[in-house]
Amino acid sequence: MIKIQIPATSANLGSGFDCLGVALNMYNYIWIEEDDTINISSKDDIKIPTDKTNLIYESAQRLYEECGKKLPGLSIIQENNIPMTRGLGSSSACIVGGLIGANRFLGSPLSRNDLVNLACKIEGHPDNTTPALLGGLVTSAMENGRVYSVSVPVAEHIRFGVFIPPFELKTETARGALPNEYSRENAVYNLSRSALMTAALFSGSLDNLRVAVQDSLHQPFRKKFIKGIDTVFRMSYELGSYGTYISGAGPSIIAIIDDTLEEQFQKYAIAHLEARGVEGWQFKALSTDEEGAKIVLE
């Protein structure tokens, strides 16, 4: 049985809709091995599918099919530290874990780039699965069904302060709220800011982040699903956030801070929210994972 570590991810980073993502040092773990039957369980109290509809199993089966092989069965144990349906890449972690395990069992016929492409086919877009596989800050583009991506490190002093609400938001609901068309002004607005975001995180130019997180393509339409969002945004900037944005489709919210602010946010963020009537949220200060998913025990 092998053990696989898969990082959480935050997609979009405000302006980089469906093209930017970053891997974070909060991890799901999967113990997996080939078996004659399907045996799936969880180390925690998170309810998961225990049959062929389990996303880890489905993804492993997909890779076997791609390689012209039949999957006999799998034993899978999950440790779910990434909150589900919170915009932090929990489904991508399942997909990536299943692919890495299956690839190893078959003798690693697929390269890391092959896995990036297959993970994107399963997920439908590359902004979470690609950083989960590659680590770091990842810019991705799709062309003829193939993912073209570049991973760069994030400046060491940058932290991602994650505000996790006590409610879920399904990606399908959040995507359904988006318009079918955008103006040229909207497109240019986001293009300039997403380019600025990549450069700012790579170089550590924190003063640019307040502008880089601005967005006109998805966040204005998703705010209505996140109760307390205006309070979280306002409070985060009061505590010193350089840029605050909705993580992925939401409902988690991330404040980009530096390491000198980490203790201040840890001490005061939730207390400030509760004082303003926003209750039940959690806060975690995370760093960038620069390695991506990997097998940690064989």
Q: What does the DSSP assignment read for 34-85?
A: E-SSEEEEESSS-----STT-HHHHHHHHHHHHTT-----EEEEEE--SPTT
In a shared domain, residues 23 and 125 = yes
pLDDT averaged over the chain? 97
Name every residue whose Cβ is closer than 8 Å to that of residue 244 and which is 6 or more positions away in sequence. Answer: 213, 232, 233, 236, 237, 253, 254, 255, 256
Pair 84, 220 in one domain: no
* Number of domains composing the chain: 2
Residues 205-222 have pLDDT tens digits of 999 999 999 999 999 999
Q: Residue 16: which CATH number?
A: 3.30.230.10
Among residues of the chain, what percentage have pLDDT more than 70?
100
Q: Are residues 226 and 99 in the same domain?
A: no
pTM (predicted TM-score): 0.96
Give tens-digit pLDDT for 105-120: 999 999 999 999 999 9
- 188 and 116 co-located in one domain: no
Q: What is the pLDDT of residue 45?
A: 86
Query: Do 56 and 101 fall into the same domain?
Result: yes
Whole-number Å distance between alpha carbons of 151 and 23: 10
Q: Are residues 148 and 6 in the same domain?
A: yes
Structural domain harbouring 275: 158-286
Residues 266 and 293 in one domain: no
pLDDT tens digits, one per residue of 15-32: 999 999 999 999 999 999
- Using DSSP, state whether 240 is helix, strand or coil: coil
Domain shared by 95 and 173, yes or no: no
Q: Which two tokens stand for residue 88?
A: 């932090």
* Whether residue 201 sits in one domain with residue 168: yes
| Two tokens, residue 234 | 């306002």
Residue identified by tokens 């990997």 is 294
Assign residue 217 the CATH number of its domain.
3.30.70.890
The pLDDT tens digits of the residues spanning 116-155 come to: 999 999 999 999 999 999 999 999 999 999 999 999 999 9
User: 135 with 258, same domain?
Assistant: no
Residue 190 and residue 86 share a domain: no
Same-domain pairing of 13 and 149: yes
